[in-house]
Chain A
Amino acid sequence: MTETMVKQNQEIRSSQGKEGKYLTFALGPEEYGLEILTVREIIGYMDITAVPQTPDYVKGVINLRGQVIPVVDLRAKFGMATAETTDQTCIIVVEIRQDDRRINTGIVVDNVKEVQDIKAGQIEDAPQFGADVDTEFILGMGKVGDTVKILLDIDKVLSHVDVAGVKQKAVSENQVRTPEERA
């Protein structure tokens, strides 16, 4: 009895750590949530400069007010079918930590929903599907109304992406043009 209570309390405590504001967006019918503090900026879709010798899910780089930022297609990263770019398509610039470095990376999403406050009681741990299925990149499942929003740990989502390398390549090959140049 007491053990279960202790376990519950621990869960609550861990959930309490996840409680906060989340920026929600959609990929197809599913909605995902990002911790608001990881988000730097939301921008509309703009032309992306493709970078050679990069994985499929790396769309390329953009020049955001003079700063070269690598852009990852989250659909491709998640192994989903690519979707056409619409008016609603946005790029969310997130700040990720890699090797104790903070790197700004853009991720392409179908559309941005809103900034939502999700309480600890609404958050559940990521479900376990077995040893083969890696659910480490999921922070938790946010229950809002009847829907479930997948709360992402973006650091882990992009942990294997050498975004810095991409940026370096782009810079070294001098193919990244400033917005001014583009204009």
Chain B
Amino acid sequence: MFKNMKLSTKIGIGFGVVIVIAGVLGFTGWQGMTNIRDQMDVYTQWGDIDMVMNEGVSQKILRLDNAFGNYRHTPDETSLADLQNAIADAQEGIHEWSSLVSEYSDLAAVAAEVDQHIEMYSEVISQYQESLNIQNQIQEQWDTIVADCLALLLTTMENVIDPAKEQAEQAQDIARMVQWGAIDMIMNEAVIANVLKLQTMAHDYAAAGSEDAWQSFLGSHQSAIEGLSEWQELLSGQSQLEASAQQIATYLTEYHRLGGNFHDQINTVGGLESQVYESAQGLFVKLDEAMETVIDPAKEEAVNQANSTQARSALLTSVLAIGGVVLGIVLAFFITSSIVKPVKRIIDNLTEGADQVSSASNQVSVASQSLAEGSTEQAAGLEETSSSLEEMSSMTKQNADNAQQANSLAGDAKVAAERGNESMARMTEAISQIQNSAGETAKIIKVIDEIAFQTNLLALNAAVEAARAGEAGKGFAVVAEEVRNLAMRSAEAAKNTAALIEDSVKNSQNGVDITSEVAKMLEEIVTSVGKTTELVGEIAAASQEQAQGIDQVNTAMAQMDKVTQQNAANAEESASAAEELNAQAKQMNNIVGELAAMVGGTISRQTGSKVNNHPSPYSRDLSGGDHVYHHIAGGKGSVQRKTPSPHPVTPSRRTAESSLPLDSDDFDEFSG
């Protein structure tokens, strides 16, 4: 069944199977790749999640912390802007991440916490800002208090102490002088110095915000209060100074209160900070947890799945590929053999066909040559026929004349035949008379014969008697012998005569028969002459028609001449066609050889050389044949030979010339 399939079907089946295998392979590979890609997508997704978590979340939170630290350290506009940028950045990062992890609830919870944490920053910042404002206010109040306090002390010094000291000097009141001097000195050393120190401590605390600074602040506040109370002890009785001291005490109390507020603020801020840090720490822990518990296993699983899928796909693909290769090889072998075998057979047939075509073309060539010779002979025959026709034409005219003469002669013959008939009747009569005489003569002869016989017997008896007589009868015996001889002679003569008479009778009988036949013939002659007359008339008419026919034959001859020339031309064409055919057969052989080489490498073929051997005698024959056509064509000049013969004198040419003993003059004469 497979053998009988079409070539296209076979190749189609082969390619179809290969395509199916390739398709299955491709599909399997594609599916494996798709699976791996899906796994890789999952892996990539997890990688994205990981990366975004690292870059967009952890690092940003770290940066946020840093920015927060910076801000807390130097809470100016730039750091605030940085911080806010960091917050926005972190929010962006967490939004990106949360969009990535929205389908994983664990991570989404983490993301929500992170988001919350970042939100917390804003709140912390606002609280922090508020606290800072409060701190600034407190510091300003601190400064105003200190300034007021110093201003009060300065006015007190200028308005009270300095005039009192001058009065004491002027008055040379030493006691007073010492009193005012102590007041001044204590005021300078214990009050102003401590206030300034307190201010410094306050600034330090504001700057450091630490508990040590806070304790130093409290200590310097205590020493300021102690210095003030020391100064107040000196001021007893001095109402103005006491009021100032009272005022300063109030200031100090205020200052302390503000310091407490500040401390509260610092504590609040510290609480916030620690909250933020704790939150951040918790976040990092959670992120690490998420990383460890969710992302890394997911990534690992994705990689494992990808690996297993890849291994499965690779196994399936390789099995399919090996199966496909084996099947393909088997199919290729079968299809190739099933194609190559018939093609080889076809090549063999083609080769044979080409050889046959080659030999056929040779035969055609030979046939063309013989056709040419035939044309030549035909031309000669045509010439002969033409001259014969001329003769026939003249003979036809003569026929007509002769027919006329024959007509008159037929009349004469009729008369003569009738006369002959009469003579015949008389002759018959004479012959019968002769017969009668002969019969009578025969009777006489018979009598003579009998007599001779009797005489013979007598002579014999006499001889017998003579013998009996012995010596006495000797003479008688001689006589008897003589008599017997006479009798014998007479019998002989009678026999001869009888034979003659018999002949004569027979001849007369023949004469009678012949006479009757002649009479019959004469009658036939008479009727024949009548018919002859009719026929002669018909002959005359026929001669006329014959003349016309000969004219027609003449035109036909001209046509035949044309046809002969055409035949010659055709023979030439046929010869060249045969050559062409041979060349094509050669070409076909080459093509078949190429095909054979294509199909089966090299095929042992001796036919190519066989074909190549042909043309030389063949072309020589052609040239000889060509020459014949040239001669024929030369007669009319209608067909021109295109190329001169390459062999000036060859045996075949001599044959051709001898086979065509005509030249152009002959043809001119013929056609004219």
* Interfacial residues, chain A to chain B (CB-CB below 8 A): 21, 23, 36-37, 39-44, 87-88, 90, 112, 114-115
Minimum distance in angstroms from B501 CB to a CB of chain A: 17
**Is there an interface contact between A44 and B464, defined as CB atoms closer than 8 Å?**
no
Chain B stretch 436-471: residues in CB contact (< 8 A) with chain A: 449-450, 453-454, 456-457, 460-461, 463-464, 467-468
Chain A residues with Cβ below 8 Å from B453 are 44, 87-88
Cα distance A37–B467 in the bound complex, in angstroms: 7
Which residues on B sit within 8 Å (CB–CB) of A44? 453-454, 457
How distant is the Cα of A75 from the Cα of B374 in the complex, in angstroms?
82
Q: Does B464 contact A41, Cβ atoms closer than 8 Å?
A: yes
CA distance A90 to B477 in the complex (A): 21
Contacts beyond the supplied A36-B468, A41-B461, A115-B463: 8 A-B pairs with Cβ under 8 Å: A23-B460, A36-B463, A36-B464, A41-B464, A42-B461, A42-B464, A87-B449, A112-B456
User: Which residue of B449, B467, B468, B484 is within 8 Å of A114 (Cβ)?
Assistant: B484
Binary CB contact string for chain B from 319 to 343 against chain A (1 if under 8 A, 0 otherwise): 0000000000000000000000000
Number of A-B contacts (CB under 8 A): 38
Q: Are B464 and A23 in contact (CB under 8 A)?
A: yes
How many Å lie between the Cα of A44 and that of B456 in the bound state?
10
Query: In the assembly, what is the distance between CA of A44 and CA of B453, in Å?
Result: 9
What residues on B are CB-neighbors of A90 within 8 Å?
457
Q: Which residue of chain A lies nearest to B465 when distances are taken between CB atoms in the complex? A: A41
What are the residues of chain B within 8 A of A41 when measuring CB–CB? 461, 464
Contact with A42, one of B450, B457, B468, B481 (Cβ below 8 angstroms): B457
Complex CA gap A37/B461 in Å reads 12
Q: A44-B454, A87-B453 are in contact. Are A37 and B468 (CB under 8 A)?
A: yes
Question: Which 6 pairs, one residue from A and one from B, show the smallest C-beta to C-beta distance?
Answer: A115-B463, A36-B467, A39-B464, A42-B460, A21-B467, A42-B461
Which residue on B lies nearest to A39, using beta carbons?
B464
Docked complex Cα distance between A152 and B215 (Å): 220
> In the complex, which residues of chain A have a beta carbon less than 8 angstroms from the beta carbon of B481?
115
Q: Do residues A43 and B467 form an inter-chain contact, with CB atoms below 8 A? A: no
Number of chain B interface residues as a range: 10 to 19
In the complex, residue of chain B having the shortest beta-carbon distance to the beta carbon of A41? B461
Binding site for A on B (CB under 8 A): 449-450, 453-454, 456-457, 460-461, 463-464, 467-468, 477, 481, 484
List chain A residues, Cβ under 8 A from B449.
Answer: 87
> Could you say which residues of chain B place their CB within 8 Å of the CB of A87?
449-450, 453
Residues in A neighbouring B463, C-beta threshold 8 A: 21, 36, 115
The residue of chain B having its C-beta at the shortest distance from the C-beta of A90 within the complex is: B457
For A113, the closest partner residue in chain B by CB is B460
A90 to B457 alpha-carbon distance, docked (Å): 9
A-B contact pairs, 6 of them (CB 8 A): A39-B464, A44-B454, A87-B453, A90-B457, A115-B464, A115-B481
> Judging by beta carbons under 8 Å apart, are A114 and B457 in contact?
no
Residues of B within 8 A of A88 (CB): 453
From B450, B453, B454, B481, residue with most partner A Cβ within 10 Å: B453
Known contacts: A21-B467, A36-B467, A37-B468. The answer to whether A115 contacts B454 by CB under 8 A is no
Pick the most buried of B449, B450, B456: most chain A CB atoms within 10 A of its CB: B456
Residues of A within 8 A of B467 (CB): 21, 36-37, 115
CA distance A63 to B450 in the complex (A): 22
Query: B464: nearest residue on chain A (CB-CB)?
Result: A39
Query: In the complex the two chains form, what is the Cα distance from A115 to B450 in whole Å?
Result: 20
Tell me the smallest distance from the CB of A39 to a CB of chain B, in Å: 5
Nearest Cβ in chain B — how far from A127, in angstroms? Answer: 28
Residues of A within 8 A of B468 (CB): 36-37
Which of A37, A44, A88, A114 gathers the greatest number of chain B CB atoms within 10 Å? A114
CA distance A16 to B453 in the complex (A): 33
Give every chain A residue within 8 A of B457 (Cβ-Cβ). 42-44, 90, 112
Chain B residue at minimal CB-CB distance from A43: B457
C-alpha gap A115/B477 in the complex (Å): 10
Contact, CB under 8 Å: B464 / A112? no
A23 cross-chain contacts in B, Cβ below 8 A: 460, 464
Distance in angstroms between the alpha carbons of A79 and B454 in the assembled complex:
29
Q: With A and B bound together, what is the CA distance between A43 and B468 in angstroms?
A: 17
Bound Cα distance A138, B460 (Å): 23
> Which residues of B have CB within 8 Å of A39?
464
* Chain A residues within 8 Å of B461, by CB: 41-42
The minimal Cβ–Cβ distance linking B485 to chain A, given in whole angstroms, is 10
Q: From residue A113, how far is it (CB to closest CB) to chain B in Å?
A: 9
Identify the closest chain A residue to B454 (Cβ): A44
Q: Once the chains bind, are B464 and A114 in contact (CB under 8 Å)?
A: no
- Measured in the bound complex, the distance between the Cα atoms of B463 and A115 in whole Å is 7
Docked complex Cα distance between A39 and B466 (Å): 12
**Does the CB pair A114–B454 fall under 8 Å?**
no
Measured CA separation A88–B468 after assembly (Å):
25
Chain B residues near A115: list those with CB within 8 A: 460, 463-464, 467, 477, 481
Which of A37, A39, A44, A112 has the most B CB atoms < 10 Å from its CB? Answer: A39
Separation of A119 and B242 alpha carbons in the complex (Å): 251
A112 to chain B, nearest CB (A): 6
**Closest chain A residue to B485, Cβ basis:** A114
CB distance from A31 to the nearest CB of B (A): 15
Q: Which residue of A lies closest to B466 (CB)?
A: A115
| Most chain A CB within a 10 A radius of its CB, from B449, B464, B477, B484 | B464
**Residues in A whose Cβ lies below 8 Å from that of B450:** 87
Q: How near does chain B come to A154, taking the closest CB pair, in angstroms?
A: 14
Most buried by A among B454, B463, B481: B463
Closest to B488 in A: A114
Determine how close the nearest CB of chain A comes to the CB of B26; give it in whole angstroms: 124
* Residue of A whose beta carbon sits closest to that of B458: A42
From A21, which residue of chain B is reached at the shortest CB distance? B467
Q: How far is the CA of A12 from the CA of B236 in the complex (A)?
A: 255
Which residues of A have CB within 8 Å of B454?
A: 44
- Which B residues are CB-close (under 8 A) to A37? 467-468
Within 8 Å CB of B477, what residues of A?
A: 115
| Chain B nearest CB, measured from A170 CB (Å) | 25
Docked pose: A62 CA to B593 CA in angstroms: 119
- B447 smallest CB distance to A (angstroms): 12
Q: How far is the CA of A43 from the CA of B461 in the complex (A)?
A: 9
Q: How far, in whole Å, are A44 and B449 apart by their CA atoms in the complex? A: 14
What separation, in Å, do the CA atoms of A114 and B463 have in the docked complex? Answer: 9
The chain B residue sitting closest to A116, CB to CB, is B463
The docked-state distance in angstroms from the alpha carbon of A23 to that of B467 is 11
The interface residues of chain A lying within 8 Å CB-to-CB of B456 are 112
Complex: A43 Cα to B460 Cα, angstroms:
10
CA distance A43 to B453 in the complex (A): 11
Query: Inside 8 A of B464's CB, which chain A residues have their CB?
Result: 23, 36, 39-42, 115
| CB-nearest residue of chain A to B450 | A87
Q: How far is the CA of A82 from the CA of B467 in the complex (A)?
A: 32
- For A36, list chain B residues within 8 Å (CB): 463-464, 467-468
Closest residue on chain B to residue A44 by CB atoms: B457
CA distance A164 to B461 in the complex (A): 24
Complex: A42 Cα to B468 Cα, angstroms: 14
Q: Which residues from chain B contact A43 at a C-beta distance below 8 Å?
A: 457
Nearest chain-A residue to B467 (Cβ)? A36
Compute how far the CA of A41 lies from the CA of B468 in the bound complex, rounded to whole angstroms.
Answer: 11
